[in-house]
Amino acid sequence: MRRVLLLLPLVLLHLPIATHAAAIHDAATKGDVAAITAALDAGAGVDESDGKATPLYLAVKSGHFAAAKLLMDRGADVNAAPTPLLGPALMPALAKRRIDLIKLLLDGGANPNSKRSRENAIHIAVNLGCLDCVRALVEA
């Protein structure tokens, strides 16, 4: 019992960080702009990764334009790649053929030559047959 009491302050010290990270990831997945704002204001990191994804990646993957824009406005790194296999947030925008998100990311500084695994963005767009995606990448 004594050992548990000694460790309790350490656990409590780290609990808010984990809670903020989970909250911002959940909010980004749902596109809940108010919850994202609250999590960021409470100290969550705008680029906080859970080892699988960043909030921006999750917002884009889930198709939430307003959430992605908010995260970018709050300083999210548009070129952050949670893992080399996933690549940056541009990749799920391409996969979903979401021209609005593709342009938002490119206008925000996303690298049009970014890669996922061994494929670069233009290869993905061509393989999808998305002419608008190719055009957006080439014009960036």
Q: pLDDT tens for residues 93-116?
A: 999 999 999 999 999 999 999 988
Neighbours of 52 (CB within 10 A): 11
pTM recorded for the entire structure:
0.84
Query: What CATH architecture does domain 2-139 belong to?
Result: Alpha Horseshoe (1.25)
Question: Could you tell me if 102 and 112 are in contact, meaning their C-beta atoms sit under 8 angstroms apart?
Answer: no
Helix (H, G, I), strand (E, B) or coil at 93: helix
What pLDDT is stored for residue 90 in this prediction?
Answer: 96
What pLDDT is stored for residue 1 in this prediction?
Answer: 44
Q: 111's torsion region: left (phi>0), alpha (psi -120 to 50) or beta?
A: beta
- Rounded Cα distance, 55 and 37, in Å: 12
